[in-house]
Amino acid sequence: MIHTQKWDVIIIGGGLAGLVTALHLSQNKIKVCLIEKNKYPNHKVCGEYVSNEILPYLKLLGINPLSEGAKQISKFQITDTQGNPITAQLPLGGFGISRYRFDNLLYEAIRGKVEIIFDTVEKVFFKDNLFLVKTQNKKSLEGNCVVGAFGKRSNIDSFLNRKFMGQNSPWLAVKAHYEYEFPEDTVALHNFNGGYCGLSKTETGAVNACYLATFKSFKKYGGIEAFQKMELSKNPFLNKFFNNATPLFNKPLTISQISFQEKKPVENHIFMVGDSAGLIHPLCGNGMAMAIRSAQIFSEIYIEAYQNEKLNKKTMEEKYKAQWQSEFEERLKTGRFIQKLLMNPFASKLGFAMVKTFPFLVPMIIEKTHGSPSK
């Protein structure tokens, strides 16, 4: 017989969004089960620059990335494809920490307090106001509420037949850590034809290099080394970096089919948090903060309903959708706009010339894609 257990909330995916949701809910006595397919710690493809806007909230949850050695970052440098630089002060600033450490820090905070199952969720059914979640290892779980925190692209997206899965996702990303002389207080974004590469330091002192590129530009070269040498290195900053930096990974991590298409924050009654609800273009350096903030929005709505014994799904869904849209829709749109601009050689040249003449525009643009510090 298959064993079935009932939970208040089942969270699918234990990246930043899922882990923060689990931590916040469990601190409020809610019975939570988190299902994650990979063991901790592990490296993830990510720029690893986190906006300070979520620091106050993390501190409320008892999490302090700075005490883990995260590097405080206050400066931003952007170069065009020829390597012409513009530097600016970051309005809010941020910190550099590897996902290896950051996700693990949150995992350690929930370990022993939340039921964590290492397994892959395969199916989610909603019937008679109740969820049934089925995993690869034939586990069956019942829950009153399900949170989708399964990231940018998952087998669950296919199972739910989500619209963006049928659309074009022509982006790939590559990331690795390197030993390299680089200022601790700076995050750099170097453009090249077909993409851009972020550089910033992590808590270990290693420089994280992570780039996003169109599949079309990448496939001309057929491999990472050739692409870096022949295309990225046309930007003199990246040329210097890839010629002098010592790789610390055996080989870079890669992901493909990255989608920036619109998604729905609630689908099939599942509350989507983090990238499952929508992924902002990485050039905004803000996806992790949005993942954490969306976890906060959901958790606060759920806790309030739970404590007042008003767990009405429809009301909670409407509230979450409205709050998600009011906080993130504009930021996602701005991200898509800047991305388009950078990918168009003419528009990007014009854009760079404009911010060079009016440097105060840089922090203004950054503010458009970032939120206010969380409470």
Ligand X SMILES: Cc1cc2nc3c(=O)[nH]c(=O)nc-3n(C[C@H](O)[C@H](O)[C@H](O)COP(=O)(O)OP(=O)(O)OC[C@H]3O[C@@H](n4cnc5c(N)ncnc54)[C@H](O)[C@@H]3O)c2cc1C
- Output the CA–CA distances (angstroms, integers) from residue 351 to 47, 140, 254, in the order listed: 23, 53, 30
Instruction: Name the DSSP letter for residue 114.
Output: B
Cβ pair 218, 10 in contact under 8 A: no
73 part of the interface to ligand X, by CB under 6 A: no
At 302, which helix (H) or strand (E)? helix 287-307
Cβ pair 162, 263 in contact under 8 A: yes
Closer to ligand X by CB, 319 or 370: give it. Answer: 370
**Minimal distance, residue 269 CB to ligand X, in Å:** 17
**Minimal distance, residue 187 CB to ligand X, in Å:** 8
At 98, is the secondary structure helix, strand, or coil?
coil
Beta bridge partners of 192: 195
291 part of the interface to ligand X, by CB under 6 A: yes
Reference 371, options 306, 269, 287; nearest CA is 287
Closer to ligand X by CB, 15 or 65: give it. Answer: 15
151 part of the interface to ligand X, by CB under 6 A: yes
Interaction pattern, residues 114-143, with ligand X; x per rule: CB under 6 A = ------xx----------------------
Among 61, 199, 245, 258, binds ligand X (CB under 6 A): 258
Closer to ligand X by CB, 213 or 245: give it. Answer: 213
Work out whether the CA dihedral 186, 217, 44, 291 comes out positive or negative: positive
Closer to ligand X by CB, 29 or 329: give it. Answer: 329
16 part of the interface to ligand X, by CB under 6 A: yes
**Minimal distance, residue 86 CB to ligand X, in Å:** 18
Give the rounded distance of the alpha carbon of 358 from its chain centre: 30
Cβ pair 369, 279 in contact under 8 A: no
Cα distance between residue 204 and residue 202, in whole Å: 5
Q: CB nearest ligand X: which residue? A: 15
**Minimal distance, residue 289 CB to ligand X, in Å:** 6
Cα distance between residue 124 and residue 101, in whole Å: 30
Closer to ligand X by CB, 135 or 144: give it. Answer: 135
Cβ pair 259, 153 in contact under 8 A: yes
Q: How far apart are the first and last CA of the chain?
A: 46
Ramachandran angles phi, psi of 6, nearest 5°: -105, 130
Pull the structure tokens for residue 271: 């509350």
13 part of the interface to ligand X, by CB under 6 A: yes
270 part of the interface to ligand X, by CB under 6 A: no
Among 88, 288, 301, 338, binds ligand X (CB under 6 A): 288
Instruction: Name the DSSP letter for residue 39.
Output: P
Among 7, 22, 49, 63, binds ligand X (CB under 6 A): 49
267 part of the interface to ligand X, by CB under 6 A: no
Among 38, 87, 167, 315, binds ligand X (CB under 6 A): 38
Among 282, 302, 320, 335, binds ligand X (CB under 6 A): 282
For residues 195-224, which are near ligand X according to CB under 6 A? 198, 210, 212
65 part of the interface to ligand X, by CB under 6 A: no
Cβ pair 170, 198 in contact under 8 A: no
Interaction pattern, residues 314-353, with ligand X; x per rule: CB under 6 A = ----------------------------------------
287 part of the interface to ligand X, by CB under 6 A: yes
Task: Return the residue matching tokens 């970032």.
Answer: 370
Contact residues for ligand X, defined by CB under 6 A: 12-18, 35-38, 44-50, 120-121, 149-151, 154-156, 173, 198, 210, 212, 258, 274-275, 279, 282, 285-289, 291
